[in-house]
Chains A and B, each alone.
Chain A
Amino acid sequence: MSPEEPGWRWDLNRKELIRLEHISKSFDGQMILDDLNLVIHENEFVTLLGPSGCGKTTTLRIIGGFEHPDSGRVIFDGEDITNLAPNRRQLNTVFQKYALFTHMDIAENIAFGLKIQNKPEDYINDKIRYALKLVNLEGYEHRMPDSLSGGQQQRIAIARAIVCEPKVLLLDEPLGALDLKLRQEMQYELIRLKNELGITFIYVTHDQEEALTMSDHIVVMNQGYIQQEGSPEKIYNEPENAFVADFIGDSNIIPATMVRDRLVRILGAEFACVDTGFGTEKPVDVVIRPEDVELVKPEEGTLSGKVTEVIFKGVHYEMSVMAGGFEWLVHSTKLSESGTDVGIRVDPFNIQVMNRPESEDEEAIGVDV
């Protein structure tokens, strides 16, 4: 991939901040992480994305110091911190269920870390005001945590974490307990915060939309392995395997055969594509996003079929099209009535060809052959 491609935000001179080397961890004999390697750079918004049980939270807790890896090392700013207690690490965490100190008021909550550092009172008071302003909760100093809404509590948890001026802020599904509207608001708030503070955010979520919205860099995980990492655009447009394709957004994943370079046979019809190097007459999977499927007149399409179902979704119509014995999912702003005969056409750039895994293990690891 080239830097000219849209969505390329990486600074080539970016500095490495955290490095996870060969991290393995199991609970009760069940492997959670297996030989995980990950590099996180300074000033990035990195999201660990995956379904529950994929190892993303464990990875975060190992960085935070709340779990100890069975093997491997955690390098922070060039130093091995694998055995360092959490209170000695230069990072702070925002926990899933806020974890505020319920018997302390908001000011005391925010001041907790600063008091341990023996900061002067004036400094602490300034910091409390600054932090509350940053999270838009000015004047809440003497409220008790229980009297705040979920979103407000979460913002206090963030304020509490950032007053300590960490180099990295770890966020463990911080918006998981909020309703949709609030979650969207908080997403923008977090992006703003990240830009204002200029520090690294490591964010854990299972919500792919959230990940796509906020991140500079997404790490997709499944069953203890990293499936793919890259910018949101790259992850969305060029999923490296069926898991990523399926997990990130809706998609049509279809078994196909690579006829030769730049030509793939899908459901009996030959489609032009841009991928090379898969060999000839090789079984593969192709991923085609629903919005990339064009519905045309039957005679103009590469494949013909019939619309079987239409649902109005507001911005677009969601249609099911039976073509070549496969039910295609199609998103389009143009309506084709149910029962209409249609043709299917796909732009070569929008066909993503992937190796087909030959075993389950291979599927989990997501090997690039």
Chain B
Amino acid sequence: MKTKLEKVYMAVIFLFMYAPIVTLIVLSFNASKSRARWGGFTLQWYVRLFHDSEVINAMANTLLIALISTVAATIIGTLTCVALMGLRKKTRTIIMGITNIPMINADIVTGISLMLLFRVLHFQTGFVTVLLAHITFNIPYVMLSVMPRMKTLNPDVYNAARDLGAEPFYAFRKTVLPDLMPAVTAGALMAFTMSIDDFIITYFTKGSGFDTLSTKIYNEVKRGIQPEIYALSAIIFALVLALLILRAKIRQRAALPAKKKAALYRKEAHTRTKVIAGVCAAGAAILIAGMAFGGVFSTRGNKLFVYNAGEYIDPDVIDEFEQETGIEVVYDEFESNEIMYAKLAQDSAAYDVVCPSDYMIEKMISEDMLQPLDWDCLPLSRENIGEQYYRTAQQFDPGNRYAVPYFWGTIGILYNRKMVSDPVDSWNILWNPKYKGQILMQDSIRDAFMVALMKDGFDPNTTDQEEIDEATQDLIDQEPLVQAYVVDQVRDKMIGNEAALGVIYSGEATFTLRENPDLAYVIPKEGSNVWLDCWVITKHARNKKAALQWIDFLSREDIALKNFEFITYSTPNIRAQEAIEDPMIRNSKAIFPDADTLARCRTYSYLGKEGDEQYSEAWKKVKSGG
């Protein structure tokens, strides 16, 4: 009985620990993009992954950093241990304590302090700074592994070698190092794993135009995780697992009885040489590939620093721009408007051209962070972008002085025609008790309040406390009907017929319509939110000319079309819209609502600190059920 219970307990523990990883690996082979449906087995995500030059580049960076930092940290760490052994025990304990602190220290503190140090020293952030950071945080791990082994060694073994005529380094290499080797290898593998694994410290020290796998994946998350990332994560998991197994093997070997060890040692001496040669060769190959991809060798002077949201451009477009203009693009992605803002507030000249959302543009204009556009240099943007979009842009950029629309979208109701019998044309349907437990709401303050405020006929940017209170009460009343407040699960749940109605972004809606033909998207008659992302040029841009070229290039019909097909959000480029082949999409009311509907929609504006607090307070009430 007891053992049975124990087994069940173990099973539950393992389930908890490994269910997420198993899910991830299974999904990486799922032919359907949806997380809710199994569309058959496929390797396409893996294939696509390896066709994505940015991912390959990030992978090369990751391995290169891991490899070099591991080698450097292993050498430095081991030598430090050797040096420490020569010190008095008390001094040694103190120094070990000091070297252990960075390991206990929060990564974020290490990351920020390194970033500050590099800034103070005027280091150009990028490959070198990330490498230095990784070497820094890897050294303690090597020492942690080597030091205990070092202490068990008989110092007279080294003395014996010296006594027999060996010079210091020869004696160390021949007698101490072989005894230390299991610990050194284990330390090196630990360092390698930590390096591949690291996100936070890398993130703070990488600067612009450089990504490792972890920062790359993080960037992708913003626009909904693509299945390629599952594939990538599965590969990283496999790699780390392999390293852990290797490390365990080495430990096991160290624990073997001497005789067996000797036999193994002999037998493998030959293979080992080969393996070391192989690793070196692979390292060199990765190094060269990384340099080629990373453009370490490039010395072109005409550079354009672009800062865009993740997954927000067809990578081919960047290549085409570079080829046509000869301008080198240093391309970086941000995760949210707030992060982009923080970065520019810190270093106003970091990027030439940026793509923020409406409310953020308003804020940046008010803080004098942008420069007016020279419209004479933007003929395609004037010509191809629809007038109605410039009009929408006036809500945050009066006089259209700063921003060229790039992509836009709305929020609306996605519903299942088989599950909803009433006509869906108003936000009111989300308060209909008939659909109790079938409604999905966005788990976002502004979006949730927008729904309630619009239903009541108020401005979604209101700061009138009475109006907010009324909307708050509405949301509280609605709560029993709501199945869940979610972010990007709306699309999965709707595709999987798990809910009847959901508040969703138009871009996501377009994708769900293709996956499940029973779904329909509607912008309610009361109006909704429209969001508009635009290209703007920073106040202190170093390459203003190239920035204008970049904006106008993106407004070109064929380029805008290419981006539209890649991103699937609504394009403000009328010529591009007209050129869409599929009439279902070209004429889709969901993607391209008519001008009247659009006129009813409002962009969010920046509410200021007080406004934000008003809404946060109200949201707390909603979440706690009144």
Smallest CB gap from B266: residue in A: A105
The proximity string for B residues 411-434 relative to A, scoring 1 for CB distances below 8 Å and 0 otherwise, is: 000000000000000000000000
Query: Residues of B within 8 Å of A, CB-based: how many?
Result: 24
A100 CA to B219 CA, complexed, in Å: 56
Q: A86-B163, A92-B163 are in contact. Are A99 and B262 (CB under 8 A)?
A: no
A52 contacts across to B, CB distance below 8 A: none
Contact B162 A144 (CB under 8 A): no
Query: Residues of A within 8 Å of B, CB-based: how many?
Result: 30
Q: A87-B167, A101-B174 are in contact. Are A95 and B160 (CB under 8 A)?
A: yes
| CB-contacts of B136-161 with A (<8 A) | 154, 156-157, 159-161
Is A66 an interface position by the 8 A CB rule?
yes
A142 CA to B421 CA, complexed, in Å: 89
B157 contacts across to A, CB distance below 8 A: 99-102
Contact A147 B259 (CB under 8 A): yes
A144 CA to B179 CA, complexed, in Å: 14
Picked from B163, B175, B259, the residue with its CB within 8 Å of the CB of A101 is B175
A161 CA to B156 CA, complexed, in Å: 13
Contact A101 B161 (CB under 8 A): yes
Is B18 an interface position by the 8 A CB rule?
no
Is B165 an interface position by the 8 A CB rule?
yes
B159 contacts across to A, CB distance below 8 A: 64, 66, 86, 93, 95, 99
B164 contacts across to A, CB distance below 8 A: 87, 92, 112-113, 116, 160-161, 164
The proximity string for B residues 500-542 relative to A, scoring 1 for CB distances below 8 Å and 0 otherwise, is: 0000000000000000000000000000000000000000000
A102 CA to B170 CA, complexed, in Å: 16
Contact B165 A103 (CB under 8 A): no
The proximity string for A residues 99-125 relative to B, scoring 1 for CB distances below 8 Å and 0 otherwise, is: 111110100000011001100000000
A97 contacts across to B, CB distance below 8 A: 154, 156
* Shortest distance between the CB of A97 and any CB in chain B (Å): 5
Is B258 an interface position by the 8 A CB rule?
yes
Is B88 an interface position by the 8 A CB rule?
yes
* Shortest distance between the CB of A284 and any CB in chain B (Å): 44
Is B611 an interface position by the 8 A CB rule?
no
Is A85 an interface position by the 8 A CB rule?
yes
Is A96 an interface position by the 8 A CB rule?
yes
Q: Is the interface of B mostly helix, strand, loop or mixed?
A: helix
* Shortest distance between the CB of B470 and any CB in chain A (Å): 79
A333 CA to B265 CA, complexed, in Å: 60
Picked from B165, B166, B175, B258, the residue with its CB within 8 Å of the CB of A147 is B258
* Shortest distance between the CB of A112 and any CB in chain B (Å): 5
Smallest CB gap from A88: residue in B: B165
Contact A99 B154 (CB under 8 A): yes
B257 contacts across to A, CB distance below 8 A: 146
Q: A95-B156, A116-B170, A144-B259 are in contact. Are A103 and B178 (CB under 8 A)?
A: yes
A66 CA to B164 CA, complexed, in Å: 12
Residue among B165, B171, B258 with the highest chain A CB neighbour number at 10 A: B165
Q: A97-B156, A99-B154 are in contact. Are A87 and B163 (CB under 8 A)?
A: yes
| CB-contacts of B219-270 with A (<8 A) | 257-259, 262, 265
A147 CA to B258 CA, complexed, in Å: 7
Smallest CB gap from B262: residue in A: A144
Smallest CB gap from A112: residue in B: B164
Picked from B161, B165, B179, the residue with its CB within 8 Å of the CB of A102 is B179
A196 contacts across to B, CB distance below 8 A: none
A99 contacts across to B, CB distance below 8 A: 154, 156-157, 159-160
Is A28 an interface position by the 8 A CB rule?
yes
* Shortest distance between the CB of B175 and any CB in chain A (Å): 5
B161 contacts across to A, CB distance below 8 A: 101, 112
A116 CA to B171 CA, complexed, in Å: 10
A28 contacts across to B, CB distance below 8 A: 88
A164 contacts across to B, CB distance below 8 A: 164-165
Contact A144 B170 (CB under 8 A): no
Residue among B160, B167, B178, B257 with the highest chain A CB neighbour number at 10 A: B160
B265 contacts across to A, CB distance below 8 A: 103
B160 contacts across to A, CB distance below 8 A: 93, 95, 99-101, 157, 160
B154 contacts across to A, CB distance below 8 A: 95, 97, 99
Smallest CB gap from A147: residue in B: B259
Picked from B88, B166, B175, B262, the residue with its CB within 8 Å of the CB of A116 is B166
B262 contacts across to A, CB distance below 8 A: 103, 105, 144
* A–B Cβ pairs within 8 angstroms, 16 of them: A28-B88, A64-B159, A66-B162, A87-B165, A87-B171, A92-B164, A99-B157, A99-B159, A99-B160, A103-B178, A112-B161, A112-B164, A112-B166, A113-B165, A116-B170, A146-B257
Q: Given A86-B162, A144-B258, 4 more contacts at CB 8 Å?
A: A101-B157, A103-B265, A144-B262, A157-B160
Residues of B within 8 A of A (CB): 88, 154, 156-157, 159-167, 170-171, 174-175, 178-179, 257-259, 262, 265
Residues of A within 8 A of B (CB): 28, 64-66, 85-87, 92-93, 95-97, 99-103, 105, 112-113, 116-117, 144-147, 157, 160-161, 164
The 8 closest A-B pairs by CB, nearest first: A146-B258, A113-B164, A99-B156, A95-B156, A99-B160, A116-B165, A144-B262, A86-B162
